[in-house]
Chain A
Amino acid sequence: KAGVTQTPRYLIKTRGQQVTLSCSPISGHRSVSWYQQTPGQGLQFLFEYFSETQRNKGNFPGRFSGRQFSNSRSEMNVSTLELGDSALYLCASSFTGHSNQPQHFGDGTRLSIL
C-alpha cells in the first residue's frame, strides 16, 4: 500500500511569490491535514479537509489556503510569500480524521524563501 506522497520535496521561492504544494493520501483515507514545522514554533496545525470540505483551521493568516479534490488529494497554497514561511510542510491522512485515529505522514515539502 503506497504511503502519503507529497510533491515537490524541495522548493525555493522568493518573497512575494505564491506556491502550491500537493499531497496524495493513502488510498481510502478521506481526511487530509496540513502542518507547518519550523525550528522555532515546532509543529503547527494549518487545516484539515474531509470530503472536499475544510473541517478545521489553525491560527494562520488567510494567505494560507487549501482544497481537497473528490479523489481526496489535497493542495495547499501560500500567496505573497514571506521569509517566515520557510518551513517543512507536512501532510497527513487518516480514514475519517477522528482524533483517536493515528495520522500517516508524508515526508514533507521543504520550502525555502529567499
Chain B
Amino acid sequence: AQSVTQLDSHVSVSEGTPVLLRCNYSSSYSPSLFWYVQHPNKGLQLLLKYTSAATLVKGINGFEAEFKKSETSFHLTKPSAHMSDAAEYFCVVSEGGSQGNLIFGKGTKLSVKP
C-alpha cells in the first residue's frame, strides 16, 4: 500500500535562507510524485512533478525536488526563501492508473520571517 509522510508539520525560515521540506513515501511500484502549494483560502497549485524521468525535478518559483529511490524520499528545496512562499505544501504520491489512487501528505506549513 502506498503512503506519504511529510516529516515536519511546520517549518520556519528567514527570508533569503534555504528552504527544505521533507517527504518520504511508500510505494510498491514506480510512483508518480507531486508537490503542491496551497495559499490561504485557495486551491492547490502544482509546483512540480516526478514521473520517472530525471531524478532532479525543477518546478515553478525556484523550487526543485530530488527523487531518491534508495531513501524513498522526495524532498522539496529552494535556495532562497521569499515572503510570498509562506503557504502550506503537500507531497502527493500516485502508483498508477487513474487519479483515484492519489495519496496526499498531511502538509507542511512554511512560515517566512522578514
A56 interface contact, C-beta 8 A: yes
Please determine whether A56 and B100 come into contact, CB atoms closer than 8 angstroms: yes
Q: Which of B72-114 contact A (CB under 8 A)?
A: 90, 94-102, 104-107
Q: A4-B43, A102-B34 are in contact. Are A56 and B98 (CB under 8 A)?
A: yes
Q: Do the beta carbons of A99 and B98 come within 8 Å of each other?
A: yes
Q: Tell me if A107 counts as interface (CB < 8 A to partner B).
A: yes
Q: Quick check: B94 and A99 within 8 Å, CB to CB?
A: yes
Q: How far is the CB of B75 from chain A (nearest CB, A)?
A: 19
> Do B104 and A100 touch across chains, with their CB atoms under 8 A apart?
no
Given A42-B107, A43-B90, A102-B34, the answer on whether A94 and B99 have CB atoms closer than 8 Å is yes
A99 and B31 CA atoms in complex are apart in Å by: 9
CB proximity of B10 to chain A, nearest CB, Å = 14
> Considering only CB atoms and an 8 Å cut-off, how many residues of chain A contact the other chain?
31
State whether A50 touches B98 (Cβ < 8 A): yes
Which residue of chain B has the shortest Cβ distance to A90 in the bound complex? Answer: B43
Query: Is B7 interfacial (CB-CB < 8 Å)?
Result: no
Determine the chain B residues whose CB is within 8 A of the CB of A107 once the complex forms: 41-43
**A1 contacts the other chain (CB 8 A):** no
Residues of A within 8 A of B44 (CB): 90, 92, 103, 105
Separation in Å of the B5 CB from the closest CB of chain A? Answer: 12
- What 0/1 readout, one digit per residue, does chain B (54-83) give for beta carbons within 8 Å of chain A? 000000000000000000000000000000
Q: How far is the CA of A103 from the CA of B102 in the complex (A)?
A: 10
Contact B43 A106, beta carbon cutoff 8 Å: yes
- Indicate whether A58 reaches chain B with its CB closer than 8 angstroms: yes
Could you write out 26 A-B pairs with CB less than 8 Å apart? A31-B99, A42-B105, A42-B106, A42-B107, A43-B90, A44-B104, A45-B102, A48-B100, A56-B98, A56-B99, A56-B100, A90-B43, A92-B43, A92-B44, A92-B99, A97-B98, A97-B99, A98-B98, A98-B99, A99-B94, A99-B97, A99-B98, A99-B99, A103-B46, A106-B43, A108-B42
Q: Which residues of A contact B (CB under 8 A)?
A: 4, 6, 31, 33, 42-45, 47-48, 50, 55-58, 90, 92, 94, 97-108, 110
Binding site for A on B (CB under 8 A): 32, 34, 36, 41-46, 49, 51, 90, 94-102, 104-107
